[in-house]
Amino acid sequence: MDKHDITAPVGTGTDTEADKTSAAEWIKTMLIVLLTVSALLFGWRTALFNDFFSAVPFFGNVADLMRSTPSDGEPVEIEAKEAARPLSIVITNKNGERFGVRYNTIARNIIYDNVSDIISGAFASALTVSEVSEAEWRNALSGAGVYFEYFKPVRLSFLAGWLGTHAAVPAENFMLGRLFVVLGDDTGRLYYQDAESGIFYGADTVSFDGKSQELESYRPNGAVFAFETGVAGASNAPYMLIMPGSEFAGIHVDPAGSATEILEITLAVLGHGNEAYTTLPDGSDAVRCVGTQFNIRIDLVGHVYYRNTGSLPYNEERYPLNENDMIEQARIIVADTVGEMCGDAEVFFEALEYETPGGCTVSFGYYIAGGRIHLPEDAFAARVTFTSGTVTGAEFNYRCFTYSGEFTRLLPEKQALAAADGEFILGYYDEGMEIMLPAWVKR
| pLDDT averaged over every residue in the chain | 81
pLDDT greater than 60 at residue 331: yes
Query: What is the tens place of the pLDDT at every residue in 347-357?
Result: 999 999 987 77
- Ranges assigned E (strand) in 331-411: 346-354, 359-368, 371-374, 382-387, 390-397, 399-409
Angle, alpha carbons 212-192-176 (nearest 5°): 120
Under DSSP, is residue 299 helix (H, G, I), strand (E, B) or coil?
A: strand
pLDDT for 38: 36
Categorize the per-residue pLDDT at 34 as very low, low, confident or very high, splitting at 50, 70 and 90. very low
pLDDT for 81: 79
pLDDT greater than 60 at residue 438: yes
Under DSSP, is residue 366 helix (H, G, I), strand (E, B) or coil?
A: strand
275 alpha carbon, distance to own chain's centre: 34
Under DSSP, is residue 21 helix (H, G, I), strand (E, B) or coil?
A: helix
Residues facing residue 63 across a β-bridge: none
Contacts of 146 (CB under 8 A, 6+ apart): 89, 90, 91, 92, 115, 118, 119, 180, 181, 183, 215
Percent of the chain with pLDDT over 70: 79
Higher per-residue pLDDT: 118 or 315:
118
Q: How far is CA 32 from CA 37, 57, 58, 389, in A?
A: 8, 15, 12, 44
Q: Average the pLDDT over 307-322 and give the result.
A: 67
Higher per-residue pLDDT: 348 or 127:
348
Helices 259-269 and 323-336 cross at an angle (nearest 10°) of 150
Reduced to 3 DSSP states, what percent helix, strand and coil does the chain have, rounded to the nearest 5? 30, 30, 35
Under DSSP, is residue 283 helix (H, G, I), strand (E, B) or coil?
A: coil
The DSSP output letter for 318 is: -
Contacts of 188 (CB under 8 A, 6+ apart): 121, 122, 125, 181, 182, 204, 205, 206, 207, 208
Query: What is the tens place of the pLDDT at every residue in 141-170?
Result: 999 999 999 988 998 888 988 888 887 766
pLDDT greater than 90 at residue 20: no
- Alpha-carbon distance of 320 to 329, in angstroms, equals 13
Query: What is the tens place of the pLDDT at every residue in 261-275?
Result: 999 999 999 999 889
pLDDT greater than 80 at residue 426: yes
pLDDT greater than 90 at residue 325: no
Categorize the per-residue pLDDT at 284 as very low, low, confident or very high, splitting at 50, 70 and 90. low
pLDDT for 172: 78
Q: How far is CA 154 from CA 159, 223, 233, 365, 438, in A?
A: 7, 24, 25, 14, 25
**How would you label 370-381 residue by residue, b for 16+ Cβ within 10 Å and e otherwise?**
bbbbbbeeebbb
- Alpha-carbon distance of 380 to 397, in angstroms, equals 7
Q: How far is CA 393 from CA 291, 306, 326, 341, 364, in A?
A: 14, 5, 13, 20, 14
Contacts of 7 (CB under 8 A, 6+ apart): none
pLDDT for 300: 82
Contacts of 362 (CB under 8 A, 6+ apart): 326, 327, 330, 331, 349, 351, 352, 383, 384, 385, 386
Provide DSSP, 58-100.
HHHHHHHHHHTS-TT-PPPPPPGGGGG--SEEEEE-TTS-EEE
- Alpha-carbon distance of 388 to 390, in angstroms, equals 6
Most confident of 87-101, 154-168, 206-220: 87-101
Residues facing residue 255 across a β-bridge: 399
What's the whole-model pTM score? 0.80
Look at strands 424-429 and 371-374 and give their pairing: parallel
